[in-house]
């Protein structure tokens, strides 16, 4: 007699190949119109599902988890970060949480490097000048930026993505510096010719470009606080493809407006999808709509990880990407 398929509720539209495979393996309830679920719809989903597949924009907090039904045993997040989920509350209720690490490393590092190039070289300003018909011909002193070679890049968070950024940046002649909770292995430091700073304050004060590549956790909320941002040189640039909450965005916007920083490249924002109006008006910033991991290949890889985690769990095995509170 066939085993009943678990009810898997997916909160957003996923790549077609991923959704098709989910329908083959599970009793998958898909979100075909891709509208974000309301709080009431999420509550209904956790009350009825065996497995919930949320994305990073779904707030799965303790209050919502408290409404979960007796059959919900797995939250298989479609995303590497899990700051949208109260993992402790889920664990306390006997619900396993998984994520999709590793598959977005190269895509996010590519976008980080694109911003590291775009901001000092004023690429968006140049493109805008063309669109606004302000280009009247080449001139030796027009649209001058700064070269990358020889500049110091400070990476905040030297995990998979931070190391991938470092490899790209090293190829462009940047000097690699980093701050991390723990110093990386000597062979990695040697490969990247990277300098470790146990003091984030000291590193920030010396860098020409700072790249934020750490996750958002309670410990990293406003890690780049008002005090720390003001340690940076006025000639410095900051790039963030991690999470907007890591930077005090209001202070950053004020410093850019006052010329206390030379520029910023931001793919993430503190109150997404709302963007600080000062950032929208600034000429010395490149703003992207959280697209660092947005490749078809990456999204399919994420979906395949979600499926493997669900299938492993349903078959009675420990999911390969299980998240536990101690990991946060």
Q: Name the residues annotated as catalytic.
A: 243, 272, 290
CA dist 235 → 74, 126, 143, 146, 147 (Å): 48, 20, 16, 10, 13
Give me the DSSP letters along 54-74. -BTTS-B-HHHHTT--TT--E
The set of residues, in sequence order, having a beta carbon less than 8 Å from that of 282 and lying 6+ positions away, is 253, 256, 257, 264
d(CA 252, CA 226): 8
Residues linked to residue 178 through DSSP beta bridges, in sequence order: 155, 196
Residues linked to residue 176 through DSSP beta bridges, in sequence order: 153
Which stretches of the chain are DSSP H helices? Answer: 16-25, 39-48, 62-65, 87-92, 105-118, 123-131, 160-171, 186-192, 200-204, 226-229, 249-258, 277-281, 296-314
- Annotate 272-294 with b (16+ C-beta within 10 A) or e (fewer): eeebbeebeebebbbbbebebbe
User: How many CB atoms neighbour CB 201 within 10 A?
Assistant: 11
Question: Going edge to edge, which strands form the sheet with 237-240?
Answer: 195-196, 175-179, 152-156, 209-212, 237-240, 263-266, 285-287
DSSP, res 206: T
CA dist 319 → 8, 46, 209, 298 (Å): 16, 20, 38, 20
């Amino acid at each position: 007699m066939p085993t009943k398929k678990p009810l898997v509720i997916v909160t957003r539209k996923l790549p077609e190949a991923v959704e098709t495979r989910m329908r083959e393996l599970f009793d998958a309830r898909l979100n075909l119109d891709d509208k974000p679920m309301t709080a009431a719809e999420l509550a209904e989903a956790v009350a009825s599902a065996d497995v919930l597949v949320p994305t990073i924009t779904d707030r799965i907090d303790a209050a919502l988890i408290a409404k979960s039904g007796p059959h919900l045993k797995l939250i298989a997040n479609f995303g590497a970060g899990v700051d949208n989920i109260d993992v402790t509350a889920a664990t306390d209720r006997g619900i396993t949480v998984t994520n999709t690490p590793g598959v977005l490393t190269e895509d996010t590092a590519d976008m980080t490097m694109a911003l590291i190039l775009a901001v000092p070289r004023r690429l968006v300003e140049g493109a805008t000048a063309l669109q606004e018909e302000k280009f009247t011909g080449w001139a030796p002193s027009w649209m001058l930026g700064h070269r990358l070679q020889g500049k110091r890049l400070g990476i905040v968070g030297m995990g998979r993505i931070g190391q991938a950024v470092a490899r790209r940046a090293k190829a462009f002649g940047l000097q690699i510096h980093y701050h991390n909770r723990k110093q990386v292995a000597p062979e990695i430091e040697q490969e990247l010719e990277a300098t470790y700073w146990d003091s984030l304050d000291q590193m920030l004060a010396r860098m020409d470009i700072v790249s934020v590549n750490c996750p958002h956790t309670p410990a990293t909320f406003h890690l780049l606080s008002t005090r720390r941002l003001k340690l940076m040189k006025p000639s410095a640039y900051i790039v963030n493809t991690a999470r907007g909450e890591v930077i005090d965005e209001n202070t950053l916007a004020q410093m850019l407006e006052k010329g206390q920083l030379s520029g910023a490249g931001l793919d993430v924002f503190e109150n997404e999808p709302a963007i600080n109006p000062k950032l929208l008006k600034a000429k010395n910033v490149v703003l992207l709509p959280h697209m660092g991991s947005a490749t078809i290949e990456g999204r399919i890889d994420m979906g395949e990880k979600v499926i493997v985690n669900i299938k492993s769990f349903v078959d009675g095995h420990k999911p390969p990407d299980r998240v536990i509170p101690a990991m946060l």
